[in-house]
Structure 1
Amino acid sequence: MAAETWSDICDYSKLPLPSGIDPQIGALGLLPNGNIIAAFHRGEVMVLEGGKWKLWASGLHEPLGMHVENDGSIVVVQRAELTKISDTDANGVADTYQSLSSGWGMTGNYHEFAFGAAKAPDGDFYVALGTGSNNGGTRPEIRGAWNDAGGITHESTKPTWTGKREKSLPRMFARVPYRGFVIKINPKSGEITPVASGLRTPHGVHVNEAGELFINDNQGDWLGSSKLYKIEQGKFYGHADSLIWMDGWDRGTPSELAGEELDKLRTKSLCFLPQGDLANSPTQILTLPEDGFGPYGGDLIMGEMNQARLVRFLPDEVNGKDQGAVMKFMEHPELGMGNAKLALAADDTIYVGKTHLSWAGDQGIVALKYNSTPHLAIDKIEMTKSGFRVTLNEAADATDIAVKAVRYGLHYHKKYGSPKVDETSLGTKSINVDEAVIEFDFASEMVPKQIYDITLTGVKSDELGKLIEPRFFYTAHEVYTK
């Protein structure tokens, strides 16, 4: 029988947890022998073997990502450094902790997270550094040089007995080196190379087999909604304060500039991840294997902290520019929130490590195993000059297909998030079905700089039943000109 819900095609299970520790997961991976290795919030690293947890390493400071090497060693990004941990005598307990780099700035602000570590084809590692929050201020001792652009000195930001400060920091700030940047670290020399700036809370850091770097960022100031980026060297991606580290910057506090001015400097995202409708707080990114996961093989997916789902990205190219659509993936009713860290097993199981870090979320590790039950799914989404072309994995019955669609914009401003701007319902002029391809044209012209929220109704197949996920969100930075 064909599947019609996500719970029909993925099997959910919970893994046992070690006792006596905070079971929030900061990093997750699979060792070469297939055993799960997890770094917990308070710094323990443990291995699950034969259903039992064994302490492998300890003493880490807020680990938030790892890469497992072929020899079973791990490279972990902590709040303060990138660390390689090894079991050199193969006795099942790590004995070597090697600091690969600790060259980024820290003010002691609670929000200065460090995410990663994604390995580049040349063997270097990418680490993405979050900005600080003005809710937390700075500490008297900092690491790295302070940038006093706009007259905001370190002295003026220190805590006071009254709680008042001489100068106000931007809502999210980057006053020490590389905050708001993705950096590249040479593990042999420890040398840091800045890659790109303009990030706020870049949780997901991923390199695909082609060597392309993808990062997602969380909604906030200068982000009307969360976003997914394909990162290019030297680009600025929109969150203002890290601009103070540009060579020759002399324009004061970047967040005081008009959005129109900052817009001229930034590189656009691949797509938005609409707040509330899809992803409030996107997390780790993975590429599914080409030879697994049925119609989803090769797709980019990511975790989501605040809703019981993962998220799937479908790329498109318009006028030579990359953009695309996002939609729900593995929205299992038992999954819950806090889906921060992902690890992919050879049997098409996605292990999901959960955390909350004092926000909405959860704890522990669960498994979602793709069970290959046949079902109808969207395989590809392409913009056309007057609408969209959607390709399915099986021919569709054209009888009852309809399209529900709206479009809207988002503000680019220093306020937190954005409402939907000029939300407009769209009527369809035509719907054509040719086997597995559904092509529909709107009655009005396509408009750039819009998010298209589209739901296909009545889509079904004689063989595979109804479409398992009919709604997608397409970010149209570009549209075709006639």
Structure 2
Amino acid sequence: MVASVRSSRFAVLSLGLFTLGSSLVAQEQSDYYRIETYELPKGVNFEASGLAVTGDGKLAVALRKGEVWIEGKDGFRLFASGMHEILGLAWHDGALYATQRAEVTKLRDTDGDGKADEYLTASTGWGVSGAYHEYAYGPVFDAQGNLYTSLNSSMGKTWKGAGDEGVHPLWRGWVVRMTPQGKLEPWCAGFRSPCGIGQDADGEIFVTDQQGNWMPTTPLFHIRKGAYFSHAESIPDAMRPESPVKIAAKQPDGTLTVAEAMKTVQGYCPPAVWLPYVKMGQSGTGIVCDKSGGKFGPFEKQLFLGEFVLSGVNRVFLEKVGGEFQGACFPFVEGLQCAALALTTLPDGSLVVGESNRGWNSKGNRPFGLQQIVWTKKTPLEVQKMELMKSGFRFTFTLPVDKASLGKLTGQSYTYPFQSKYGGEELDAKPLQISDAKLSDDGLVLEVTVANLREGYVHEFELPGLKAKDGSPLWHRMAYYTLNRLKE
């Protein structure tokens, strides 16, 4: 089996690049979403660490080692070079913006020769000490033109010549905002490795972090001024007078669960969604929102998240309860040729994934790459959205479900430790007390009554082997809802 090749810019993708559980799973996935692989410039380590679409619809790709390439009729062409570890790219107001370790750089081609001749600093001012993990990600622009950058915690030895920055690099583990007037503002704190930063359909900003200290598994955070998301390395800067984050100088470590910390730790904001470890991947990365108007299937306005270790893409549905975001995550596409790092969408609605295996192992046998996920126009039977009710959950499906296929639902709920220890197991797990499940007459909505809903817990469901009325099987049976607030 090979992926369809729509133009010369795509190479053939063989089944050998898939790392799926079986060829049956691969075939089912390809029925709905086809993976195509770009032909890349020969002799270039094309570690695609940032993606953007220019004003005329061309794909721009940032490489980790400091270059930006733009796709043309004859393949990719070098646009800019000489930068330091780019981990993000955006198109804004007629220019490309590349996020380097120490700054966000505005790139323009002013003479029309196809190469950038203007490199301007658009944002800077955070600490860089030479520590290995001092990455910077982004940028994201809001409607007012403010530029947001997410900054990795230092996590490592500093350079001897860093001076004061070596003692305490400023705003590490924060999201910072640069105003159009050139003022850098600390915005929110408590991150470990906020590798993905993106926006929903309404312009709200979200960040993925990665499992490790203070992060029991991959979270998806809703970014807002003054929020604090638990990683203690950012606490010293929260004590500065210009900090909008108001928290205590010390926090409990290993004595609380996340559910308990939500009630007792000053300023702590839980993630909108937890992605359970291994079940939904191990390291979340890039974020993109489907704003294609249906060109990418039945998931318009939902978020898609890159997954590094398992080389795939996951899907997130969000809703507001009590004025705050929470929601559900679902598996989506797996079997990419290596780790997913950056995501963007093209004007035709397809999703592009930038890939690199640098630094950490992942499924797949390629060191880097660039792939495109294309909807085949065949709609899978999936949970389109999962909403909280006062008495349980409402599942809405993409296709009508055959009532004869509705069997027993099972599930559990669990929380995580609030601790500096690396990662964290599922705690206080209890089976869901499911007393009723009613399918609507049209087969599109399933309402499930659960007696033991718990705030601060992930509610995990394994759906039965449902079938659509046309006989199509349910593509993914697992669903995970992060319940931070109950419906009143």
Shorter-chain TM-score bucket reads 0.7 to 0.9
Counterpart residue type for residue 159 of structure 2: R
> Could you tell me how far 1:264 is from its partner in structure 2?
2.8
Structure 2 distance, partners of 1:94, 1:137, is: 35
Alignment map for 1:63-212 (pairs within 5 Å): 63-69=86-92, 71=94, 73-133=95-155, 136-142=156-162, 154=167, 175-187=168-180, 189-212=181-204
Equivalence for 2:268: 266
> Could you tell me how far 1:12 is from its partner in structure 2?
1.2
Equivalence for 1:365: 370
Counterpart residue type for residue 245 of structure 1: D
Q: How far does the alpha carbon of each residue in 1:10-51 deviate from its partner, in whole angstroms, 9 at most, with x for none?
A: 111111121233221121222233332212121122222224
Cα pair distance change 1:321/1:48, threshold 3 Å: closer
Cα pair distance change 1:438/1:143, threshold 3 Å: farther
Alignment map for 1:197-346 (pairs within 5 Å): 197-247=189-239, 263-289=265-291, 291-292=293-294, 293-331=296-334, 333=335, 335-346=336-347
Equivalence for 1:379: 384
Equivalence for 1:160: none
> Could you tell me how far 1:244 is from its partner in structure 2?
0.8
Structure 2 distance, partners of 1:127, 1:81, is: 9
Aligned length in residues: 445
Determine if contact 1:243/1:254 at 8 Å carries over to the other structure: no
Q: Is 1:407 aligned to 2:409, yes or no?
A: no
Q: What's the RMSD between the two structures over aligned residues?
A: 2.4
Structure 2 distance, partners of 1:448, 1:256, is: 21
Equivalence for 2:423: 417
Determine if contact 1:105/1:143 at 8 Å carries over to the other structure: no
Structure 1 distance, partners of 2:471, 2:370, is: 32
Equivalence for 2:244: none
Q: Is 1:60 aligned to 2:90, yes or no?
A: no
TM normalised by structure 2 equals 0.85
Q: How far does the alpha carbon of each residue in 1:411-451 deviate from its partner, in whole angstroms, 9 at most, with x for none?
A: 01110111111222335322111121111223x42222211
Counterpart residue type for residue 446 of structure 2: I
Structure 2 distance, partners of 1:316, 1:234, is: 21
Structure 1 distance, partners of 2:121, 2:164, is: 17
2:481 to 466, 474, 482: 474
Equivalence for 1:437: 445
Structure 1 distance, partners of 2:52, 2:310, is: 22
Structure 1 distance, partners of 2:110, 2:306, is: 33
Structure 2 distance, partners of 1:287, 1:102, is: 27
Determine if contact 1:453/1:472 at 8 Å carries over to the other structure: yes
> Could you tell me how far 1:395 is from its partner in structure 2?
2.3
Equivalence for 1:453: 460
Equivalence for 1:39: 62
Structure 2 distance, partners of 1:194, 1:270, is: 21
Equivalence for 1:169: none
> Could you tell me how far 1:211 is from its partner in structure 2?
2.7
Determine if contact 1:241/1:253 at 8 Å carries over to the other structure: no
Cα pair distance change 1:300/1:137, threshold 3 Å: same
Q: How far does the alpha carbon of each residue in 1:120-153 deviate from its partner, in whole angstroms, 9 at most, with x for none?
A: 11112110000011xx31111227656xxxxxxx
Structure 2 distance, partners of 1:313, 1:345, is: 20
> Could you tell me how far 1:464 is from its partner in structure 2?
6.1
> Could you tell me how far 1:366 is from its partner in structure 2?
0.8
Structure 1 distance, partners of 2:467, 2:436, is: 19
> Could you tell me how far 1:459 is from its partner in structure 2?
1.6
Structure 1 distance, partners of 2:107, 2:320, is: 41
Q: How far does the alpha carbon of each residue in 1:261-309 deviate from its partner, in whole angstroms, 9 at most, with x for none?
A: 7833311110101110002111111110151223111111111111132
> Could you tell me how far 1:471 is from its partner in structure 2?
1.1
Structure 2 distance, partners of 1:180, 1:143, is: 20
Q: How far does the alpha carbon of each residue in 1:345-380 deviate from its partner, in whole angstroms, 9 at most, with x for none?
A: 111211111012311244110111112113322222
> Could you tell me how far 1:319 is from its partner in structure 2?
4.0
Counterpart residue type for residue 341 of structure 1: A
Structure 2 distance, partners of 1:209, 1:143, is: 43
Structure 2 distance, partners of 1:118, 1:464, is: 43
Structure 2 distance, partners of 1:24, 1:367, is: 15
Structure 2 distance, partners of 1:204, 1:75, is: 16
Q: For structure 1, which runs of at least 5 residues remain unmatched after alignment?
A: 147-153, 155-174
Counterpart residue type for residue 287 of structure 2: I
**3-state DSSP class of the match of 1:122?**
coil
